[in-house]
């Protein structure tokens, strides 16, 4: 982080323990509520530290502070490092979600391949406590990444903050010449940049389309309406 930047990490309860769209929907609601709370508490920016970016567009439509997301930031920065990108995620059930993300971001011609290992989010966390298991994850990642590189992918993205953090100690991490992105510092730096540009020029998201700002009473309704029966 830059000098003077402070990052506070807030969790989601219960955590994302199973790869499935219904879990992402639950996470999205908490993300949106947390973005509103962050703005009300005086934060300068809000970062979604979840590669699936659940609730990203909706969060941008309810706050005026910059909202940066790990998945989108990783893909957009990766486009500056190579023409074609590949994603290796932790579970095959994430693949359809990533394909939706890629289409939503208009990157079908740039993010050209998605492969997967086979872990649940909770399982792969055990690799933080075991160097042997961490090395096994690296090898499994490489096994899925090599065919992507052979098919023309020039940049590799671990599909999740969990493997990104696990690989963060691998300086210059690459597979067959293709760099492996750690999107966590990328997202932080993009948030810092967004805050600086907003202060310098007032630059923010468009309010002419997807990010049209919701009226205050509608935001309050969302924040206070019961989650279920």
pLDDT tens digit sequence for 158-169: 999 999 999 998
163 within 8 A of 124, measured Cβ to Cβ: yes
Of the chain, the end-to-end C-alpha distance in Å amounts to: 43
So what's the pLDDT on residue 225?
85
123 is written with which tokens? 């399982």
What angle do the packed helices 21-40 and 95-104 form, to 10 degrees? 50
pLDDT digits (tens, 9 = 90+) for 171-190: 999 999 999 999 999 999 99
How far apart CA 7 and CA 84 sit, in angstroms, is: 31
Torsion on CA atoms 206, 64, 157, 117, rounded to nearest 10: -120
What ranges do the domains of the chain cover? 21-224
So what's the pLDDT on residue 126?
87
So what's the pLDDT on residue 229?
53
pLDDT digits (tens, 9 = 90+) for 187-196: 999 999 999 9
How far apart CA 96 and CA 158 sit, in angstroms, is: 16
Question: Rounded mean pLDDT of the chain?
Answer: 94
pTM here is 0.93
Coil, strand or helix: which one is 151?
coil
For the domain made up of 21-224, the CATH class stated in words is alpha beta
218 is written with which tokens? 């509608």
């Amino acid at each position: 982080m830059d000098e003077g930047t402070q990052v506070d990490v807030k969790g989601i309860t219960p955590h994302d323990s199973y790869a499935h769209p219904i879990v992402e929907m639950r996470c999205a609601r908490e993300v949106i509520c947390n973005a509103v709370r962050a703005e009300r508490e005086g934060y300068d920016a809000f970062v979604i530290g979840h590669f699936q970016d659940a609730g990203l567009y909706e969060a941008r439509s309810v706050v005026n502070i910059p909202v940066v997301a790990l998945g989108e930031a990783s893909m957009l920065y990766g486009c500056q490092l190579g023409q074609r990108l590949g994603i290796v995620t932790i579970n095959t059930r994430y693949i359809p979600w990533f394909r939706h993300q890629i289409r939503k971001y208009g990157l079908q011609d740039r993010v050209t391949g998605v492969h997967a290992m086979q872990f649940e989010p909770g399982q792969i966390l055990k690799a933080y406590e075991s160097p042997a298991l961490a090395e096994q994850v690296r090898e499994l990642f490489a096994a899925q990444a090599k065919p992507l590189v052979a098919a023309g992918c020039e940049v590799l993205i671990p599909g999740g903050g969990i493997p990104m953090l696990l690989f963060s100690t691998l300086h210059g991490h690459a597979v067959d010449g293709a760099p492996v992105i750690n999107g966590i510092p990328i997202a932080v730096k993009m948030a810092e940049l967004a805050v600086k540009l907003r202060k310098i020029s007032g630059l923010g998201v468009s309010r002419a389309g997807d990010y049209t700002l919701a009226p205050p009473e509608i935001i309050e309704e969302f924040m206070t309406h019961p989650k279920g029966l």
